[in-house]
Amino acid sequence: MKKILIFEANSNQALSLSKYIKKYSSFYIVGAIKKECRFFRESYDEVFIQNFLEIDVNKYDYIFPMGADSTFQVISKYKTLHYKNNITFIDKNLIVFNKPKMLDIATTLNLPIPKTYYDRATIDKFPIFYKENFENGGGIRGVAFDNNTLPLKDGLIYQEYIDTPSTYGVAFIARDGNLLTYTVYKEVISYPIEGGSSVVIEVFMDDRLVEYTEKLLQKIGYNGWGLAEYKYCDKKDDFLFMEINGKFWASIEFMLQNNPQFLKLLLNVEYQVYAIKRFIFINRLLHYDILSFIQNIKYIRGAKIIRESSLIYQIIRKFVPSKIVKIFKKRKF
């Protein structure tokens, strides 16, 4: 039996990927985590705890790093990962972790980008959006309205704040920079609001997004999966390139549901599904305060509700006093 190893097995993207592979194939799926934690394990045949770089990957037919941490570590060590249909994920892809470098490349291709500052002393207009200049799996990001609210931290880039609510994404698999398959979506709301994981996501299409993404991928000779992200700017009436995530993304289940070619290309896993125009990740919606939760609950209508962890446990932790929560910590729901 063919074996698959999934790093960061407790991550949202790992849970989605393992669920679809388990449902539509006979692969033996093994999950690796760094420390014990609570998460759904139904889609794994085995889960173990170990430092990722100490794992003997030769025991597995295919390995999938998930987030920025495991992707950077694993690809830096092994250089190339191989999949079906001559699909690879290569160390050359790690250039996308360098945000300033990718913005420079976008500029050389005459692609629209936000006005960007690399030195906080040069910022001449607020509000300003800030984030890590090198992908490290999360990090800090947010919006500052003056110098006093800018974080005193090195390693940040600063960009004009695009005051439109949605983010647009092109999720893809590429070979030598050419798109083999892709799904375009609109991230209606996210958490945190300043930039985070999708809460409500829906089908969208604009040829410019595909065109810009392929130009970038061809320029750097990208191989494998990824997600290009854009913000729409009213003033320019165009989509501004923000970044490419050279890793699996938290809302990958939307692509797996709407585009079976993704697993077909990677693993020859075939299945038929009906397209769903909107997903709502209900656990993420529960991170909002009560007022925001009520305002956004409207998106449930017509959406597929995705549950990533125990709703009961999350509701208890959110609405029940902490002293009472301790009583439930060891219980399984």
**pLDDT value for 333:** 46
Write down the architecture of domain 1-78 according to CATH. 3-Layer(aba) Sandwich (3.40)
* Distance in angstroms between the alpha carbons of the first and the last residue of the chain: 32
**pLDDT value for 38:** 86
As a residue count, the chain comes to 333
SS3 content of the chain, % helix, strand, coil (to 5): 35, 30, 35
User: Dihedral, CA atoms, 270, 272, 274, 278, nearest 10 degrees?
Assistant: -10
* CATH 3.40.50.720 domain extents, the chain: 1-78
Q: What is the DSSP-derived secondary structure letter of residue 98?
A: B
* CATH 3.30.470.20 domain extents, the chain: 88-112+162-333
Q: What is the DSSP-derived secondary structure letter of residue 54?
A: G
H or E, element range at 333: none
pLDDT in tens, 146-184: 999 999 899 999 999 998 889 999 999 999 999 999 999
- Cβ atoms of 73 and 51 within 8 Å: the answer is no
For strands 178-191 and 141-144, give the pairing.
unpaired
pTM (two decimals): 0.92
**pLDDT value for 45:** 98
**pLDDT value for 136:** 79
| Ranges under pLDDT 70 in the chain | 138, 313, 317-318, 321-333
CATH number of 88-112+162-333: 3.30.470.20
36 φ/ψ sector (left φ>0, alpha ψ -120 to 50, else beta): beta
% of residues, the chain, pLDDT over 70 = 94
Amino acid at 224: G
**pLDDT value for 323:** 63
**pLDDT value for 322:** 67
